[in-house]
Structure 1
Amino acid sequence: MSQKDPCQKQACAIQKCLQANKYIERRCEDVIRDMRKCCEVHESSVCCSGFAKEHKSKDTKTLIQ
């Protein structure tokens, strides 16, 4: 039996929020923030693949500036 992705709940919450709010991201900032927090803890989560890259690129930009 496969394990459930630790950040799947947050990923689903983002999808549900975006659909309910006509894909206006600013209306879903709280659930997106929850996803980022989960991804900080569970970097190997499949659901976090886009968030992990975003997090690393922000760190790189900070170092370059």
Structure 2
Amino acid sequence: MSQKDPCQKQACAIQKCLQANKYVESRCEEVIRAMRKCCGAHAEMKSVCCSGFLKGHKTAEDKT
């Protein structure tokens, strides 16, 4: 029996936010931060939602 991905809720929130904001990432910083926090908390798991998310992805906040 497989477990539900612990960060699926955050991944869906990112998609919903991006769609609502015409894919302007800067308008979705809060949900992106929530996803990073979730992926960091569940780093030991093989999360499909987190695969590649933390590697080299920078938000507008990180670039300043």
User: Partner residue of 1:12?
Assistant: 12
Cα offset for 1:46? 1.2
Which structure has the larger Rg? Answer: 1
**Greater mean deviation of Cα atoms: 14-23 or 41-50:** 41-50
Hey, what's the Cα distance between the residues in 2 that align with 1:26 and 1:19?
A: 13
**Which portions of structure 1, spanning 4 or more consecutive aligned residues, are displaced by more than 4 angstroms?**
none
Tell me the secondary structure at the aligned position of residue 5 of structure 2.
coil
TM-score when normalising by structure 2: 0.77
**Greater mean deviation of Cα atoms: 8-17 or 39-48:** 39-48
TM-score when normalising by structure 1: 0.76
Structure holding more helix per residue: 1
User: Partner residue of 1:30?
Assistant: 30
Structure number with greater CO (CA < 8 Å, separation at least 6) is 2
Hey, what's the Cα distance between the residues in 1 that align with 2:11 and 2:28?
A: 12
Q: Give unpaired runs (5+ residues) of structure 1.
A: 56-65
Q: How many matched pairs?
A: 55
Tell me the secondary structure at the aligned position of residue 46 of structure 1.
coil
Q: Give unpaired runs (5+ residues) of structure 2.
A: 58-64
Percent of pairs with identical residues: 82
